[in-house]
Structure 1
Amino acid sequence: MQKVFYEVNQFDQKCYEDFHLSEDLLMEQAAFSMCTFIQSKFSSHESVLIVAGSGNNGADGIALARMLYSSYDVRLYLPYDAKSPLGKLQLKRALALGIECSTYVSKCDVIVDCLFGSGLNKELDDISKTIIDKLNRLDAYKIACDIPSGINKKGQILSKAFIADTTITMGALKTSLFSDLAKDYVGEIKVSNLGIQRECYEGSTSVFLLDEKDMRLPLRTKKNAHKGSFGHACIVIGEKEGAGILCADACFSFGAGLVTTIREEKLSLPYHIMQKSKIPSNTTALALGMGLGKYDKDELKKILNLNIKKVIDADMFYEELLKEYLDEKLVLTPHPKEFVSLLKLTNLANISVKEVQNNRIHYALLFSKRYPKTTLLLKGANTLIVNDEHLLINTLGNVALSKGGSGDVLTGLILALLAQNYLPFEAAYVASLAHSIASNNYKKNNYSLSPQDLINEVKCI
């Protein structure tokens, strides 16, 4: 896991005060990291257009121009005058070296966006919008300095934003890079150290970025075992039986020893999935909500009152009675529309899906602060998993998962881990990783992924 922060100004200040590193020195390191990246990827004498703003993000770009000058065809474009003290100093150095400033956006091999940094807190003016549009239309490799211009510190898009192939962010990862809205703009994210290693620069945080190496598969190491050793998972089947059956199959494929569907009417099931009309006494975990539809309220209360681990999904987020059980150790897996309903049921917020998507981390943490025992997995382009205000971000999923049934598979994976005695928070993030990695391992066209394809890939992780 990598640490993620809302902002890093306090760490810059620590460098100045505790490590005697000047602001100028940190800026030189930021520029050098971009220079090194360009040198590793592009041949000398290729053309590099650096678009620099008036503040310190622009100053990073001016310093970069100086470092690349003479080895590359450097074009430094300053649509605004350098206004910060360091910006003026860096421009003085660049001009002394003989760099001439360009007056327009020109065709090039590489674009480096240094217009605005992660502190952007105002709407873009018309000049900035026009520049960003022109840059986005150019056929060039695009690099963003710290964050693509047009994305604010909440990860929101301010009408326009630079579309980067790579973002080189300074010092540490920021939450603004991981909003769903930013995903189509940031490209590959790299962290530049600023003269000291990240371990020295960074402080404490409750937000982390998940990596593939955080996966903890339910591999079987004990030799003296039987099917009961790996839990008994149950799935309550509602009106739309397909959702529950997909969940059951995914659960079985991720290691649960026994999987039982709960329904009165006879189901057509794979041979390895059992069916009962009542929840067996040896059940170790239960899933409820997928394709549920209309279900007897008294029966739902009985199920929710059972002292077993539960993963709750889909239709249950529209049930008023759910809020009576949110102090239990549950895993909730809403998509944004279902999360809107959950926020309304709990009187935490009465907002739209758009408002949630504009500030996903805020609302996920708001829910977690009110219900610290509950694990929330908020689906999206970047999945958020939060428990007791500890937040994990999974960026590894891809658009192939945007198909009906993908969420039912995820619920089944979580259920399997709960049945095998994973803690709820761990079950949620490990299952989310497995779900994402499986989708990435799928080799056919990304529009063709089916739930069964996903389950098959899970078996091979």
Structure 2
Amino acid sequence: MQKVFDNCVALDKRCYQAYGLSEDILMEHAAAGMANYIRKHFAEGASVLIAAGMGNNGADGIALARQLHGAYDVRLYLPFALRSEMAKVQFERAVAVGVKMVDAISEAEIVVDALFGAGLNRDLDEETVHILHQLNALHGHKIACDIPTGVGAKGTLIPMAFRADVTVTMGAYKEALFLDACKDVVGQILRADLGVSASVYEGEIHSWLLEASDLKLPSRRARSTHKGTFGHAAVFCGEKEGAGIISGMAAATFGAGLTTLVVHEKVTPPPYLMHATVVPDNASAMAIGMGLGCHFESAFLQKYVVKSHLPVVLDADSFYSEEILAILEQRDREVVITPHPKEFVVLWKILTGEALSVAEVQERRFEVVRSFNAKYPHVTLLLKGSNMLIMQEDRLYINPHGCSKLSKGGSGDVLSGLIVSLLAQGYTAMDAAIQASLALGAAANNYAGSSYAMLATDLVNEVGRLEVK
């Protein structure tokens, strides 16, 4: 996993003050990060159009033009008068080596956006929007310098953005790159070092980016085991019984030694799932909410859910129940909640009386998750989305591995099943949420069918094919 920062201002400042690295040195390394990517993926002689802005992001682009000049067909487009001193210095250097300046946008094999970088906090003017439309219409491979122009300081699009195939971000990963709103414009995100390694550049932080290599699947290497060794997951199966059955299938597939559906009336689950009208005495974790409806009476929920000591996953219909949400006050219990944005709006209203819209949650995902954590630090919150956010006790993890294949009913039920399976096997709430979310993303990305065709059952099957590394 990698550290993620709100911004890099303090990190750059430490480079100046503690390491004696000038702004010029950092800028040369920023440009070199992009240049190295281009050299690795494109043969010499390829055409490169660089659109550079008036500030230091533009200066990075101008420096890139100089570094590539002579080996590539470089064209530098400067639509605005240069303002920053470093941009002016880099321009003089570019002119000195003979970089070609152009006054119009035209097709190129490589298109670099260096107009505006991180920290943009105002709407783009009409001229910049027009330039972005022109750049986005080009067919070349598109690279964003640090962050695509049009992605604001908090990750929102203002009002549109350069659509990059690759974003080469400078120094450290930034939260703005991982807001759901900019998932389709950042492309692949790569990090460039700025004259020192990441371990030296970065400071202490409590936010991390999860990588595919962080996935650690449940292990069954020990030979002397039995079904009780791997826990017993109890999954509530309510009015929409399919949701509970799917969740139970996921729990069993992900390693729970036993999985029981807690039912109100008879259902017909797969033969490997048990069912009972109460939570089994030997259950080691439970999940509730998926298709729950109003099947279970208050006295039943109080006895078997609210007053239970078992680790619990709350999902879906749980967030509409004040009775079930009382569990969030239990500080000595492992609790994971997995709302999507609309469900978060409902539970937040119940918990605080504050009305949020889904749009507000999506625009302020990091802020919203931290606000919940301040109120319930002991609860593990997994806010669903294109980039899942997982937080407990000031530790925030970003899972960027979601994909559009998951945009179908039942995917969330699978996730709840994966989490309760790990809880039943003895994982902590945070570890269960992290590993289940990574497994969900890996399984979805491994699905070989059409992107629109994946069913929840396909997803469960893909979970069963994941390999221990």
Tell me the equivalent position of 1:105.
105
Question: Matched residues in 1 for 2:318 and 2:138: separation?
Answer: 48
Runs of 5+ in structure 1 lacking a partner? none
Alpha-carbon distance between aligned partners in 1 of 2:386 and 2:353, rounded to the nearest angstrom: 23
Can you list the C-alpha shifts for 1:265-292, whole angstroms capped at 9, x where unaligned?
1111111111111111111000100001
Q: Which residue matches 1:74?
A: 74
Please report how far the alpha carbon of residue 221 of structure 1 lies from its aligned counterpart in structure 2 after TM superposition: 2.5
Q: Which residue of 1 aligns with 2:185?
A: 185
CA contact (8 A) 2:262 2:277 kept: yes
Amino acid at match of 1:92: E
Q: Deviations over 1:26-52 (max 9, x none)?
A: 001111111111111112222111001
Aligned to 1:212: 212
Q: Report the more deviating stretch, 363-372 or 89-98.
A: 89-98
Q: Which amino acid aligns with 2:117?
A: G
- Counterpart position of 1:299: 300
> What amino acid sits opposite 2:324 in the alignment?
L
Aligned ranges 1:17-28 → 2 under 5 Å: 17-28=17-28
Which of 426, 430, 438 is the equivalent residue of 1:433?
Answer: 438
1:255-334 correspondence runs (5 A): 255-294=255-294, 295-302=296-303, 303-328=305-330, 329-334=334-339
Q: 1:426, CA displacement in angstroms?
A: 0.3
- Asked if 1:167 corresponds to 2:167, the answer is yes
Q: TM-score, normalised by structure 2?
A: 0.97
Deviation at 1:188, TM superposition (A): 0.5
1:393 pairs, out of 388, 393, 398, with: 398
Q: Per the alignment, in what secondary structure is the counterpart of residue 30 of structure 1?
A: helix
Q: Deviations over 1:56-85 (max 9, x none)?
A: 000000111111112211111111111001
Q: How far apart are 1:326 and its partner, in Å?
A: 0.7
Amino acid at match of 1:299: F
Show the counterpart of 1:448. Answer: 453
Secondary structure in 2 aligned to 1:25? helix
Q: Is 1:339 the counterpart of 2:344 in the alignment?
A: yes
Q: Residue 151 of structure 1 aligns with which residue?
A: 151
| Match of residue 368 from structure 1 | 373
Within 5 A, what are the aligned runs for 1:27-176? 27-176=27-176
The amino acid of 2:249's aligned partner reads D
What is the alpha-carbon root mean square deviation over aligned residues? 1.0
Q: Is the 8 A contact 1:409 1:451 kept in 2?
A: yes
Distance between the aligned counterparts of 2:325 and 2:224, measured in 1?
42
* Distance of 2:230 and 2:67 partners within structure 1: 59
In 1, Cα distance between equivalents of 2:270 and 2:179: 39
Q: Given that residues 318 and 325 in structure 2 are in contact (C-alpha distance below 8 angstroms), is that contact kept between their aligned partners in structure 1?
A: no
Q: What's the offset of the Cα at 1:94?
A: 1.1
Instruction: Give the AA of the match of 1:402.
Output: S
Kindly provide the CA deviation profile for residues 290-317 of structure 1, in whole angstroms up to 9, marking residues without a partner as x.
0011142232222221110100000110
1:238-279 Cα offsets, whole Å, 9 max, x none, are: 111000001111101111111111123111111111111111
State the 1:319 CA deviation.
Answer: 1.0
Contact 1:170-1:191 within 8 A present in 2 as well: yes
Shift of 1:218: 1.1
For residue 348 of structure 1, report the CA deviation from its aligned partner.
6.5
- Give the 3 Å change call, closer, same or farther, for CA 444–417 of structure 1 in structure 2: same
Map 1:419-430 → 2, pairs under 5 A: 419-430=424-435
- For the 8 Å contact 1:410–1:432, the answer to whether it is kept is yes
Distance 1:99 1:277 in 2: 76
**What is the Cα deviation at residue 324 of structure 1?**
2.1
SS in 1 for 2:151: coil
Q: Alignment partner of 1:331: what SS?
A: strand
Alpha-carbon contact 1:327-1:372 (below 8 Å) kept: no
Deviation at 1:132, TM superposition (A): 0.3
Cα distance between partner residues in 2 of 1:211 and 1:327: 32
Measured in 2, the distance between the counterparts of 1:68 and 1:306 equals 65
Amino acid paired to 1:105: I
Which letter maps to 1:33? Answer: G
CA distance in 1, matches of 2:365, 2:148: 19
1:322 Cα deviation from its structure 2 partner: 3.3
Give the distance between the partners of 1:207 and 1:27, measured in 2 at CA.
Answer: 26
